[in-house]
Amino acid sequence: MTAAREQIRRLAERLAVEEFGGEVLDEPIPGYQVLTRRRLVDPLPGVRAAQALAAAARGLLVEQSRDARAAGRSWDEIGQALGLSDSEADEPRAEAAFADLVEGRRPNAHWRAFRSPSTSWRCGSCHELVTDYGPRDSPHPDDQESGHADTCTRHRAALAQWRIDTGWDD
């Protein structure tokens, strides 16, 4: 067990006791005279504590992904940081990361929501509130994000790169 996992386990135990009325018991490990194992007498406060931690961790994960987008990171880079494989998934890693973090589900290629899922964040370049529609069928930056200032260097760079990639001249 990693050190981080052990710290989380201790935090969950503390939350179970302090917030959810749990009691800790040190019980002997069968076959050993000195070794004991800590556990909650009733595991339900532990379930509640673990759920609270999972919800907090999920919120932090979504918040950090928004911050990563605001800092100029791509959905593909976020998917890579999540450990998603681009070759094993039914959809590209960027789409899988967006579907998981913003939509809260894995997208089904045969079904699309009536309303496009989106998230928002404040752009690190122009400081405007940007609506992010995620990786879409259209690679044009205006189809993927809206809200950048006309003078936004980040958005202008994305448009310039799109023009290079597609050979499109306005």
pLDDT above 60: residue 110: no
Q: What is the largest CA-CA distance in the chain?
A: 80
Cβ–Cβ < 8 Å for 69, 78: yes
Report pLDDT digits (tens) over 69-92: 999 999 999 999 998 887 655 788
Q: Which of 14, 31, 32 is nearest to 23 (CA)?
A: 14
Domain count, the chain: 1
Would you call 95 helix, strand, or coil by DSSP? helix
| pTM of this structure | 0.66
Q: Which range marks the domain in which residue 19 is found?
A: 1-27+40-71
With 0-12 / 13-18 / 19 or more C-beta atoms within 10 angstroms meaning exposed / middle / buried, residue 135 is buried
Q: Are 84 and 97 in contact (CB under 8 A)?
A: yes
How large is the average pLDDT for residues 100-126? 73
**pLDDT tens, 38-53?**
999 999 999 999 999 9
Q: Is residue 7 part of a domain?
A: yes
- What's the pLDDT at 1? 59
